[in-house]
Amino acid sequence: MQINTAAAAKGALLRYGLAIGLVFLALLASMGLQDSIGNPFWFFFSAAVILSTWLGGTGPGWLAVICSTLAVMYYFTPPLHSFAVTPRELPYFVTFVACEIGVTQLISWRRRTEDSLRQARDELEVRVAERTAELKRQLAEQRRTEETLQATRAELARAARITTIGELTASIAHEVNQPLAAVVANADACVAWLARETPDLAEARSAAERATQGATRASEVIARIRSLITKATPEKSRVQINRVIEQTAALAEGQAARNSVTITLELSPDLPIVFGDSIQLQQVILNLVVNGIEAMTSVTDRQRILTLRTEAESKCQIRVSVQDSGVGLKEEVMRRLFEPFFTTRAKGMGMGLSISRSIIEAHGGRLWAESNGSGGAIFQFTLPSEDRPSA
């Protein structure tokens, strides 16, 4: 604190000393040029006042005005070498003093204005810097929140897939047991053909090849189930949507049979390739299929048919439809159908359709539901094709 006070006092002393020095220089210049060009003192003293005020501030400016006034009274205003002013010179002297005071006021006002503007600019820069830092913090927080939300959404989608797979346990067992039983049968046949007195190598080879095919099919089924429940990062690739639908229908075939539901496929053969994550798309279709089967469990007056249909809406978009012949959708249910945790199923989580819509929208498509005029409901979603022109 003492150091700051001493520095301020030293600075003030220098500014006031500068004012006195400028007035002294103006006096010397005025007296030196007086004989050659008359009385130019008003110019030099005005310059001294302006520079004192501009460089030193209001206080040194007023000191320059006082010193200039005294110098003009003593050296340039009759009677010379006296601080008295004759009545004849009084108006001129008053005009000089008024001009000096006016210049001091004007320069002081301008200096204060510039100081205020500079201070306002500095404060604005500080506020901008603070706001920028705050925005950076908010963006970082938002980025962390989005990452957390994405991780939570992915985990929730995985939980929904596991739940759906649990509902299809019987279908999965059938899908795995069927090729395994074929493997055993073909292996027994191969052994029998080889155990003959004259081994039939052609038949044995054929039986062995069929056993290999059955084992490969069982392995593919297990891999498909494993990919649905794994905690893998979504990976987009070229997808044949008809193939995904066929695999999904095979998984749900057992549950459909237990509920006396017939699954029919009406798949357009010339669909364009879509670019997406096949596991996520299979999750969407599987969820719609399971919902459709559940919707028909209470239907007794008509045949229970679940139709999966694909068609090309244009060269750059395809449509997938899942139509059931169930009880249909009431208007109040339709409004809340895609809300998280809303469900009409006794054991449902209420997340399947919400997650499905998020997946389809992330693929650049749209998912919606409509009532079927003949009874039941139809869920549809669109997907852009791989060769869709970029926006």
pLDDT tens for residues 158-182? 666 666 666 556 556 655 665 676 6
What DSSP assignment string belongs to 233-300? PP--EEE-HHHHHHHHHHHHHHHHHHTT-EEEEEE-TTPPPEEE-HHHHHHHHHHHHHHHHHHTTT--
CA nearest 325: which of 290, 375, 285?
375
Q: Nearest 5°: phi and psi at 66?
A: -65, -45
165 near 288, Cβ under 8 Å?
no
Residue 231 tokens read as: 């905690």
356 near 312, Cβ under 8 Å?
no
Question: How much is the pLDDT for 189?
Answer: 79
250 CB-side CA count, 13 A: 18
Four-residue CA torsion sign, 240, 242, 245, 246: negative
Long-range contacts at 250-254 (CB < 8 A, ≥ 24 apart): 250/175, 251/168, 251/171, 251/172, 251/175, 251/224, 251/225, 251/286, 252/168, 252/171, 252/286, 252/289, 252/290, 252/293, 253/171, 253/174, 253/175, 254/168, 254/170, 254/171, 254/172, 254/173, 254/174, 254/175
Q: Is it the case that residue 231 has pLDDT exceeding 70?
A: no
pLDDT one-digit tens code per residue, 92-119? 667 766 766 777 777 778 778 888 888 8
pLDDT one-digit tens code per residue, 68-85? 777 777 777 777 777 776
CA nearest 360: which of 311, 324, 389, 317?
317
What DSSP assignment string belongs to 163-187? HHHHHTHHHHHHHHHHHHHHHHHHH
Separation CA 83–CA 70 (nearest Å): 7
Tell me the mean pLDDT in the region 196-223: 78
Residues 6+ apart with CB under 8 A from 374: 325
47 near 28, Cβ under 8 Å?
no
Separation CA 27–CA 29 (nearest Å): 5
Q: For residue 390, give Cα distances in angstroms to 224, 234, 241, 313, 324.
A: 32, 22, 21, 18, 35
> Look-up: residue for tokens 């244009």?
314
Note if the bond before 79 is cis, omega within 30 degrees.
yes
Q: Is it the case that residue 275 has pLDDT exceeding 80?
A: yes
| C-alpha gyration radius of the chain | 47
Q: Nearest 5°: phi and psi at 80?
A: -65, 155
Q: Is 50 left (phi over 0), alpha (psi -120 to 50) or beta?
A: alpha
Q: What pTM did the predictor assign?
A: 0.48
Residue 30 tokens read as: 């005025």
pLDDT one-digit tens code per residue, 321-354? 999 988 788 777 777 777 766 666 655 556 678 7
pLDDT band, residue 156 (cuts 50/70/90):
low
> Look-up: residue for tokens 């004759």?
86
Separation CA 3–CA 69 (nearest Å): 36
Q: Is it the case that residue 13 has pLDDT exceeding 80?
A: yes
Residue 24 tokens read as: 């002294």
Q: Is it the case that residue 21 has pLDDT exceeding 60?
A: yes
Residue 247 tokens read as: 């695999």
pLDDT band, residue 24 (cuts 50/70/90):
confident
> Look-up: residue for tokens 């913090």?
137
Residue 73 tokens read as: 């009274």
> Look-up: residue for tokens 């109040």?
332
Separation CA 107–CA 115 (nearest Å): 12
Degrees, nearest 5: CA angle 287-291-294: 140
